[in-house]
């Protein structure tokens, strides 16, 4: 897709894209835990966060050809371009600085192994970690980091 293609999509509400955006499943305990981890480690405030269940999150899922309501893929939107699943997860770690950027070495894992591994974890995340009754709610201090 063309960078910033969502800007010309009338079904995607306008939003501030001056920083990288992580779209995540807000009901997933594992996904919300990962976002809390990123919030703590992202000292340069490189990322903003967006629950997939929000109107904007759903619109972005649909825009990128993903099924609304099936939030098994994290999205990383950076400089107008999207990364999904394994690639998005590694992209997050690569932007957290030392030592977390070492996780980017996961790129040496061939995609034919990495994507099925990601999908296996995504399929089982609720069984292993649970599901929230309500979407993750940011604290007052975190609110400015969420769209």
Whether the pLDDT of residue 6 is over 90: the answer is yes
Query: How are the residues of the chain apportioned to helix, strand and coil, as percentages rounded to the nearest 5?
Result: 45, 15, 40
| pLDDT recorded at residue 79 | 95
Tell me the pLDDT of the chain averaged across its residues.
90
In terms of C-beta density within 10 A (0-12 exposed, 13-18 middle, 19 or more buried), how is residue 136 classed? Answer: buried
Count CB-CB contacts under 10 A for residue 124. Answer: 11
Count CB-CB contacts under 10 A for residue 98. Answer: 6
Whether the pLDDT of residue 121 is over 80: the answer is yes
CB contact at 8 A, 3 and 80? yes
Give tens-digit pLDDT for 93-109: 999 988 988 888 888 88
**pLDDT tier, 7 (very low <50, low <70, confident <90, very high otherwise):** very high
CB contact at 8 A, 114 and 106? yes
Between 24 and 135, the more confident residue is 24
Domains and CATH numbers, the chain: 5-132 (3.40.30)
CB contact at 8 A, 30 and 125? yes
Cβ neighbors of 58 (< 8 A, separation 6 or more) are 52, 68, 69
| pLDDT recorded at residue 133 | 77
Q: Give 26's DSSP letter.
A: T
**pLDDT tier, 56 (very low <50, low <70, confident <90, very high otherwise):** very high
Whether the pLDDT of residue 81 is over 90: the answer is yes
Whether the pLDDT of residue 16 is over 80: the answer is yes
For the whole model, what pTM was predicted?
0.90
Quote the CA–CA distance of 102 and 105 in Å, as a whole number: 6
In whole angstroms, what separates CA 46 from the centre of its chain? 13
């Amino acid at each position: 897709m063309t960078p910033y293609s969502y800007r010309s999509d009338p079904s995607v509400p306008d939003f501030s894209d001056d920083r990288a955006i992580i779209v995540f499943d807000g009901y997933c305990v594992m996904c919300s835990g990962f976002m809390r981890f990123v919030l703590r480690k992202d000292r340069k405030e490189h990322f903003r966060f967006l629950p997939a269940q929000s109107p904007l999150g759903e619109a972005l899922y649909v825009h990128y050809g993903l099924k609304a309501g099936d939030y098994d893929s994290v999205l990383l939107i950076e400089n107008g371009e999207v990364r999904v699943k394994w690639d998005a997860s590694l992209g997050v770690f690569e932007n957290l600085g030392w030592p977390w950027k070492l996780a980017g070495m996961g790129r040496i894992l061939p995609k034919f192994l990495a994507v099925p591994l990601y999908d296996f974890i995504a399929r089982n995340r609720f069984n292993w970690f649970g599901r929230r009754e309500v979407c993750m709610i940011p604290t007052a201090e975190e609110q400015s980091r969420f769209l």
